[in-house]
Amino acid sequence: MILVKNALLPGLKKANVLIEGDKITSIGGASDKSDEVIDADGMLLMPGFFNAHTHVPMSLFRGLADDLPLQEWLEKHIWPAEDKFLDKEFVETATKLSLIEMIKSGTTAFLDMYTFEKNIAEVAEEIRIRAFLAEAILDFDTKDYKAGKGVEYAESLLKNNTELVTFLLGPHAPYTCSKETLEKVKEAAEKQNAFVHMHVAETRKEFEDLKKDKGMTPVEYIDSLGLLNDKMIMAHAVWLSDKDVQLVTEKKSMVAHCPSSNAKLGSGIARVRDLVKARARVSIGTDGCASNNVLDMFKETHLAALMQKAVNTDPTVLPAETVFKSATSAGYEFFGLNNSLEEGSIADVVLIDLKNPHSTPLYDYYSHLAYSAKAGDVDTVIINGRVIMKNHEIITINEEEAIVKANEYKEKIKT
Ligand SMILES: [Zn+2]
């Protein structure tokens, strides 16, 4: 039992929050029967971020090559490095680095797509973060995902779900999976009642190629295969037609909007205003470190809001509360979890330190979180009712050791 005392909640009301097991059981009441009391005076309590699209092993490629055309970036830098280094030890080292970075910036749950997801699951369990893991499925050896073992292997992982870890099927993209493979994915997903995560409509090239080959947009194509439903999370969804916006909304699929990655790779700006207006489900993700280059959901939330205002020349688009909920509770809700900071909701929460100039003065809860708060403000992180980080330090892993190990890879990768 944990008592978080005197934290600021939405509406900036000060209250005590009691956590029992994995849930928040009381807000506002006093309790002296707690095992652990956290003095949250001068702090704000927020639901943790749900990073809805990333590739955690790619953190070791952070800053390896930037500002290059996609093909050159992949062929000359990322693929050769993956070809040389990608194995279990690399994935574990990179995952530890990424999870530390995510927890320290207020993320309590993430959705990943890569290979070696079983090893990523082990690290997530060790550190005690909530993880949704989609083993990548590809038809051919792109080197990028050379260890991709196909639908059968991804399906076999689904039985390993735990309280913290949920496995998904991860067909990489419409252009890396054949129609037959996607049909197999659909069949496996239906049989196992599994979620599916896929890159969809990321670039203009993907949109135009599919139009030419199949006479359909990427969204229409995955819909024609029966994959567009309330179990599908689409990363990016930048290139959508008006009809696609309607389809995504009607079929209750979720978009994982990745504004930094889309901007950095020159892919474009997703139609988030239109999706939100249509009442589609929209979450936010950082994508991998090779195209961001950080896993900081404060930055991502801030950028998501600002880019939509700029591109639509309208400051009322994607207001603070809307964008913040997209970055936090939307992802949880999609997976059937309530993380909306109320009695009965899951105890995946973060305490934000307010004793600094950029938090002063504080007029509005959501404005602060969407526009002013920074990763360094994260003081305490509680996941599934357990304290993972306190006084800016993670309890479940030796941060220094993990960073030293990651740096050892830098020396190898550089040469
Ligand atoms: Zn991605």
d(CA 63, CA 114): 19
Q: Is residue 404 assigned to a domain?
A: no
Instruction: Give the pairing type, strands 232-236 and 23-27.
Output: unpaired
CA of 78 from ligand 1 middle (Å) equals: 13
Considering the domain architecture, whether residues 6 and 150 belong to the same structural domain is answered as no
How confident is the model at residue 142, as a pLDDT? 53
Cβ-contact 301, 284 below 8 angstroms: yes
pLDDT in tens, 194-211: 999 999 999 999 999 999
- Identify the bridge partners of residue 137 per DSSP, sorted by sequence position: 171
Give the distance (Å) from ligand 1 centre to CA of residue 234.
Answer: 10
Q: What pLDDT score was predicted for residue 147?
A: 46
57 CA → ligand 1 middle, Å? 12
The helix (H) or strand (E) run that includes residue 102 is helix 88-104
Yes or no: say if 290 and 60 are a contact pair by the CB < 8 Å rule. Answer: no
226 in helix, strand or coil? Answer: coil
Query: How is residue 371 annotated by DSSP?
Result: I
Give residue 198 CA to ligand 1 midpoint distance, Å: 8
- Cα gap 239→268, rounded to integer Å: 8
In angstroms, rounded to a whole number, what is the distance separating the alpha carbons of residues 247 and 230? 12
Q: Which domain holds residue 19?
A: 2-47+346-394
CA 39–ligand 1 middle distance (angstroms): 39
Model confidence pLDDT, tens digit, residues 348-381: 999 999 999 999 999 999 999 999 999 999 999 9
Burial class (CB in 10 A: 0-12, 13-18, 19+), 215: exposed
Q: Is residue 407 situated within a structural domain? A: no
The set of residues, in sequence order, having a beta carbon less than 8 Å from that of 267 and lying 6+ positions away, is 202, 203, 204, 236, 238, 261
> Both 138 and 20 in a single domain?
no
247 with 143, same domain: the answer is yes
Residues with a beta carbon under 5 angstroms from ion ligand 1: 287
Rg of the Cα atoms in the chain: 21
How do residues 12-58 score in pLDDT, each as one tens digit? 999 999 999 999 999 987 766 778 999 999 999 999 999 999 999 99
How confident is the model at residue 33, as a pLDDT?
Answer: 74
60 with 207, same domain: the answer is yes
* Domain of residue 121, CATH code: 3.20.20.140
What was the pLDDT predicted at 141?
A: 58
Would you state the pLDDT for residue 69? 79
Whether residue 61 lies inside any domain: the answer is yes
C-alpha 373/C-alpha 382 separation (Å) is 18
Q: What percent of the chain has pLDDT over 70?
A: 97
* 339 occurs within a structural domain: no
In terms of Cα–Cα distance, which of 393, 392, 384, 398 is closest to 129?
384
Distance 414 CA to ligand 1 centre (A): 23
Q: For residues 355 and 295, state if they share a domain.
A: no
Query: Which of 34-38, 46-50, 281-285, 341-345 has the weakest average pLDDT?
Result: 34-38
Q: What is the largest CA-CA distance in the chain?
A: 67
Per residue in 47-81, pLDDT tens? 999 999 999 999 999 998 899 877 788 788 888 88
The pLDDT confidence band at residue 413, using thresholds 50, 70 and 90, is confident
The pLDDT, as a whole number, for residue 149 is: 66
Question: Are 26 and 68 in the same domain?
Answer: no
Is 176 a member of any domain? yes
Residue 205 domain flag: yes
